[in-house]
């Protein structure tokens, strides 16, 4: 049984295969070719959180592969509340060929996967966003070719996106730098998992964002206040004020540097409008790659 719950679970060879397949699938669509690897297959999506990119990219991708997708809001299902995770998984996996979850707690994804008879994909949890990381590296590879030896600087806290990216970068030869205020770095439990999966020390944290981007190829940012952190918003606005990705910061980076953001963006908060709309931005190319990366994952899940 294959699942795609975190990047940590998979070898560099699997990640490399997924990137190669995403590139192939994207090229096929550009030529008007549509595979039918999911013909007569059904993918079930259960989302506790709102979604634009994750839901539409999966539904469109499944359709392009010749399959059908079914969506249910998490409140209707009541994962772990209305019935146990195991009961949900054992029932749902008789109706669909793949289950995709977008949830608040990573333990929900793990609990479903443990009881499911079909592959489970983590579309987002509080600790991991593996599909996003694969689309990010696909975009980076499109911009620069070979990933090895490149540098990605994440300006923001050590959130689910940063953690998935740090692991993916470590496994594929990309230097990862985290630039954040004190107290917002990677948690200790992640550090231990990173060392066991990737090896070596945790990626460096550089407090000064100007120093962090000095030799980088990619500047990556995300919202300062994620869903579920609304009570911390005012404090985060104060503490992250010096970490805005703006024109002044972009000038500190090499001229070839590109800008990524996983979206949705709070324009003129963590990133200024002129940067996200500027020539260095590949944010919407990155968003489009979610579909291609996820199609590669879906095909891999069924062998």
Q: Quick check: 217 and 246 in contact, CB under 8 A?
A: no
Helices 283-301, 130-144: inter-axial angle, 10-degree rounding: 120
Catalytic site residue from 126, 136, 157, 222:
222
Name the token pair of 66.
């010749």
Helices 130-144, 12-30: inter-axial angle, 10-degree rounding: 70
Active site residue 169: no
- Distance (Å, rounded) from C-alpha 14 to C-alpha 37? 19
Active site residue 129: yes
DSSP line for 243-282: G-B-HHHHHHS-TT-EEEE-S---BTTTB-HHHHTSTTB-
Active site residue 33: no
Active site residue 132: yes
- Distance (Å, rounded) from C-alpha 138 to C-alpha 21? 10
- Distance (Å, rounded) from C-alpha 281 to C-alpha 277? 6
Active site residue 244: no
Catalytic site residue from 262, 286, 292, 294:
262
Catalytic site residue from 3, 163, 290, 292:
290
DSSP line for 66-132: T-EEEEEEHHHHTBTTTB-HHHHHHHHTTT-SEEEEE-S-HHHHHHHHHH-SS-EEEEE-SS--HHH
Catalytic site residue from 3, 64, 132, 138:
132
DSSP line for 182-217: TT-S--HHHHHHHHHHT-SSPPPB-S-HHHHTTT-S
Q: Quick check: 102 and 48 in contact, CB under 8 A?
A: yes
Q: Quick check: 293 and 138 in contact, CB under 8 A?
A: yes
Active site residue 143: no
267: β partners: 271
Catalytic site residue from 10, 53, 129, 261:
129
- Distance (Å, rounded) from C-alpha 69 to C-alpha 104? 22
Provide the annotated active-site residues. 102, 129, 132, 222, 262, 290
């Amino acid at each position: 049984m294959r699942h795609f719950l975190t990047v940590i679970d998979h070898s560099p060879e699997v990640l490399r295969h997924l990137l190669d397949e995403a590139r192939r699938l994207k090229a096929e669509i550009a030529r008007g070719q549509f595979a039918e690897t999911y013909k007569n297959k059904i993918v079930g999506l259960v989302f506790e959180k709102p979604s634009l990119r994750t839901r539409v990219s999966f539904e469109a991708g499944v359709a392009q592969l010749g399959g059908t997708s079914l969506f249910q809001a998490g409140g209707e299902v009541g994962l772990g509340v209305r019935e146990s995770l195991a009961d949900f998984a054992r029932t749902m996996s008789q109706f669909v060929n793949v289950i995709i979850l977008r949830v608040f707690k990573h333990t929900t994804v793990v609990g479903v996967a443990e009881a499911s008879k079909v592959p489970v994909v983590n579309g987002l949890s509080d600790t991991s966003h593996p599909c996003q990381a694969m689309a990010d590296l696909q975009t980076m590879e499109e911009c620069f070719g070979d990933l090895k030896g490149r540098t990605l600087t994440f300006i923001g806290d050590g959130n689910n996106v940063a953690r998935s990216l740090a692991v993916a970068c470590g496994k594929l030869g990309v230097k990862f730098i985290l630039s954040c205020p004190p107290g917002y770095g990677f948690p200790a439990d992640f550090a231990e998992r990173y060392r066991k999966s990737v090896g070596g020390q945790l990626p460096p944290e550089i407090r000064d964002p100007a120093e962090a981007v000095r030799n980088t190829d990619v500047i990556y940012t995300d919202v300062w206040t994620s869903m579920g952190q609304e009570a911390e918003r005012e404090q985060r606005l104060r503490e992250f004020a010096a970490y805005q990705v703006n024109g002044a910061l972009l000038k500190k980076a090499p001229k070839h540097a590109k800008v990524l953001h996983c979206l949705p963006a709070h324009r003129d908060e963590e990133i200024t409008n002129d940067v996200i709309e500027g020539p260095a931005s590949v944010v919407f190319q990155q968003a489009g790659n979610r579909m291609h990366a996820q199609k590669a994952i879906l095909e891999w899940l069924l062998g």
